[in-house]
Structures are given as C-alpha cells and as structure tokens.
Amino acid sequence: MDTFFIEGARVWLRHKEQLLPSTVSSCDDASLVLTTDYGKVIHLQKAELNGETVYPMHPSSVHGVEDMSTLAELHEAAIMHNLLLRYKRDNIYTNIGSILAAVNPYKQISGLYDSTAVDQYSKHQMGELPPHIFAVANECYRCLWKRHDSQCVLISGESGAGKTESTKLLLKFLSVMSQNSAGTPLSEWTTRVEQALVQSSPIMEAFGNAKTVYNNNSSRFGKFIQLHFSQNGNIQGGCIIDYLLEKNRVVRQNPGERNYHIFYALLAGADTDHRDMYLLSEGPESYHYLCQSGCMKDSSLDDKQLFNSVMEALKVMEFTEEEIRDVFKLLSAVLQMGNIEFMTAGGAQITSKGVVSNVSELLGLDCFQLSEVLTQRSMILRGEEICSPLTVEQAVDSRDSVAMALYSQCFSWIIMRINQKIKGKDNFKSIGILDIFGFENFEVNRFEQFNINYANEKLQEYFNKHIFSLEQLEYNREGIQWEAIDWMDNAECLDLIEKKLGMLALINEESRFPKGTDYTLLEKLHSRHATNPYYVKPRVTDHQFGIKHYAGEVLYDVRGILQKNRDTFRDDILFILKDSRLDFIYDLFERVGSRNGDETMKMGTARRKPTVSSQFR
C-alpha cells in the first residue's frame, strides 16, 4: 500500500467521472476508507486502487493559493477546491494571473472595504497584498501613467455573482484616489463629480434593478461607465451608457419576481400629502403590474429605506422638486395604467373609467383621447384617417406598450440627467467599467435572456481571444517554449447567432414580414439550424429552441420574440403623448420619431425602424 495512504492524508478520488477532494479515514492491507469533502464515505478494496483512482493531493491544493496560476494541479476540481478553501476563510478574492475571481459571500465581511483597506491597497503594487478588487482598481489607476493609455475593467459572471457591487467598489476606490491625488488642490467641480458618481448608483439601482428568482438586486440593464482623469489624477468627468433596459418587466414578471425597485419604494416611502398628489393607493397589492407575480415583499429588501436613499441621491444630483414630482407622477401613472380593464362590446371597451381619468390627470392627457387610443387603432392612409376597433387582447397590448414606453423614456431621461451632472473635460486618459447583465437560465427564458446570453457569449469570446490566443502569439514572438492549451472556443456558437444567415438575421428578417409570426420564425430557425451542433431543437415542446452556450444549454421560448424585437410604438399613441399638457411628458417623447416619418406617407414606403436586436448588436 502506498505510503501516502495514512490516516488524515489529503487525496483526490476519481468517483463516477468526477475528481473529489477527500481525506483518508482509515487504511489497512485489504481496504481504504475515504471521506469526501462533501460528506460521503467511500469504501475501496485494495484491488480497485490504482494511480488514476486515488492519488495524493499536491500541497498547493491542500493549503490553497492566492494566485491559481501557481496551482500545481490545473484541473477543474483543483480550481473549485481552491476557491472553496479560500471562501471558507472569508477570502472571497483569488487571482488567476491578471484576472480576479470573486465569489459572492452573501454577507458583510468586516474591514474588507473600509478606509484602511483603501489606504493599504493604494500604496502597494499588484501582487504585494492579498487579492482584492481594490488591487485591480489601483493597478488600473497606476496604468494610466505607467502605460500611457486608457484602461478598462470587464466585469462578467452569472446573475447574482456580485457584478453591480463590484462596480460600486471600483468607483469608491477610484473616487478616493482622485481625492488623494498629488498636484493641484481638488476643485469644487472635481468634488461634485466624484460625489455625483457615487450618488448615481442608488438612483440607477432603484430604476434599473429588480428582484429575480436568483438575485434580489438584479441589474435589468447593462451599463458602461467611463471616468475621465486629468494629468494630475483627478476625476474630471464621466459618462454612463446604458444598454437594453428590460422594458417587459414593467408590465409582467415571472412568478416569485418583482417589478423595478422604485415602484415599491415609492409606495413604501411616500407620505400622505404625496400619496394624494400622485393619486396613490396604499400598497403594491392594489396594482396589477406589482401583484401578478405573487411576490410583493422580500425580507432582504427595505423599500422605505431605498426611497429615502433615492430622495437623498436625487437632491445631491440637483434634480429639482418639480422634476422629482414629474417622475413620481409618471411612475404612478404607469402603475395605474395596469389597472385599466377592458370588456368586449363590439370591440374592446374600457370598464374602469375612473382609472383612465387618474392616468389622464397624471400625464396631462385628454381622457377621451386616451380612451380612444387604447380601444381603437387609427392610421393615416393616403391622407385619410382610418379607425378600426381593437380586440380586448389588442387593447391590453396597447395599454402595456404605453406603460413600457413611459418607463423606458423616463429611465433614459434619468441617465441623461446624471450624465449632465458628471460631464467634464476629456483631455487625458479614462477608465471604463463594463457592468453587463450576467448569464441567465430561468425556468422560462425569453427574448431578454437571449440578448443577455448573447452579450455574455461575446464577452467570453473577448476573454478567450485575450487570455489564450494573444498570449500564445506573444509566446511565439518571444520564442518561449510552451505547451498548447486546448480551451473551449465559442466562435461556432457565436456564428450560429450572428453570422450572415444566423439566428439574429432570421429574427430581424421575420420581424419585417407583416405576416411573420413567432411560429413561422421557429420553423425557419429549425429548418436552417437543426443540424448545427450548438443549436437545440426540443423533441417535446412546439414553442422552444435552444442554444448550447459556453455556460450551458439554454432553451428559449419563441413566444413574444417578434413583438419585442419590433418594439413598435403606434403613431397614434405617440401623437397623444406628444400632445400632453405637461412639459415633462412632451419632452420625453419629443424626439421619438414616428414609425412612418411623414404622416401622409403611403403604406409600404415607411422607413425601417431598427429592431431591438440590431441596435443591441
């Protein structure tokens, strides 16, 4: 029997095609008893043992390492074991060469991000202190001068991995570095920009984040934050670009999920006077857009505290009282819009006249015109207005499209106002932070998940290119002897999605056919790609297609894809919103172009509005 099979020895056990970290519990001439780290006891006979079944664990795996590029055993089990070892000691950060792996602790770790930690990491080079997100932020900041070039941090991971928190920590560190930078004393403008950057987070989270089944504070939009630095190291300004807000969440959510945080915060935090001003009911259970998922409260979310944080942030960002009032009136109008109900009587008829009256008052619209536009469609054809009644289903779609348009335009306006506040000079270098939605695989995956996972697939391609391909080219140039690494290349999966006749092209093509439906799209997807090894054609369901992504296989529900991709907004609805008596509502839609451009345009000559997926790409 090998000498390493002594009681207490750490070994790797190959069991059912998996490598399991284990400990020798007992050993004699006939048998070996192992206990895996997951609590399973395995009895092995001496005859079963060989060098591939059980072998000793290298000391680097036994004790754990701060940088996994120094692990002697480079296999998945060793990597996961190393992360777990460190996680149990509250060491949530681990380096992999120049990459930082972060494991969400789902708890506060004392002293991890306090001012002492900021000060400590600001004074040391990368690798001199234990792995930390502050070390990455410090390296980025130093490289502005060391490499004489702008820097970028890519934050990727599954939903709930902690990407948004990491973004906030990077901003916190860089803000402190700006304040402590040598050279000229901080101007009042620089201090205001730093303060605005920090205060923008609670606003964007309230309006852009929601509870999902995996994450109570999930970002439902992507963002790229760019910080402009002066030669002296001060933050001079910044810019935030947002991507693909999940508009559909405003009107429907999956079971166990919530709408955007701001709705619940408004209901929890508004006082009696504001409730009267915004025509608000008591709680979320009064609103269809908030109660349909069955989840209105969560013990980990303090809606009233969030309201107070948002109000404080809005004031720091110098939103006026009138602007805040206009935003909250819009939010109330969106909530009440969901309570407009219809019945069939020679076409859809509204049964909740009082709700329509409230919505009209909050949005500055004519009540009769709003009722008309929700129950009938009007279009200009060869200079004549033609009206046709809508079915109840179509009327509900019209109602929901107005609610989604109001919210998304409001969100874009808020981002624009934040950018006005943080805008500054761009005459030296910048640091960009990409915080994009994480890979998602829910029980039901829709068009939103398709786009989100496509974005993550592109990030994985970028990672592969820079970590493997470019590194190996560098080794070749320098004449370094190296052993080829076989990594999972996702180029073929991306080809399936984005090549000339790929899935995106088919979705966009079908979106432009007047008679195109979700099911004709599905037929074309199956017909074109069924033989592709990365495409999945389910055997049982008739409304799904699948993709074998780098992070796993995901089945997507085709229903609703064309409607969401077209993102059409009827001209008659647009015109009534532009007719609002309120400057705020008018301004939100002033620059939204009509689908037909010129009202008298003949059918069939309308300019093509870019689809959601083509804009996102």
The residues assigned a catalytic role are 159-160, 164, 215, 218-219, 438, 440
CA dihedral (19, 21, 23, 26) in degrees, to 10, reads: -10
Tokens of 38: 């997951």
On whether 208 is known to bind a ligand per the annotation, the reply is no
**504 phi and psi angles, rounded to 5 deg:** -60, -40
Return the H-helix or E-strand segment holding 327. Answer: helix 321-337
d(CA 338, CA 329): 15
312 known ligand binder: no
164 is in an annotated binding site: yes
Q: How many residues appear in the chain?
A: 617
Instruction: Pull the structure tokens for residue 294.
Output: 């069955």
- CA–CA separation, 416 and 20 (whole Å): 52
Dist. CA 256–CA 584, nearest whole Å: 34
Burial grade of 416 (CB within 10 A; 0-12, 13-18, 19 or more): exposed
What's the Cα-to-Cα distance from 41 to each of 21, 22, 198, rounded to whole Å?
A: 12, 9, 51
Is residue 424 annotated as involved in ligand binding? no
In whole angstroms, give the CA distance from residue 193 to residue 317: 10
3-state secondary structure of 557: strand
Instruction: Tell me whether residue 159 is annotated as binding.
Output: yes
Q: Is 163 annotated as a binding residue?
A: yes
Q: Give the C-alpha separation, 517 to 513, whole Å.
A: 9
Check if the beta carbon of residue 485 is closer than 8 Å to that of residue 473.
Answer: no
> Both tokens of residue 292?
């349909």
Q: Is 162 flagged in the annotation as binding?
A: yes
Give the angle subtended at the CA of 553 by the CAs of 552 and 555, to the nearest 5°.
145
Residues that constitute the known binding site for ATP = 157-164
Q: Which residues are annotated as a binding site?
A: 157-164
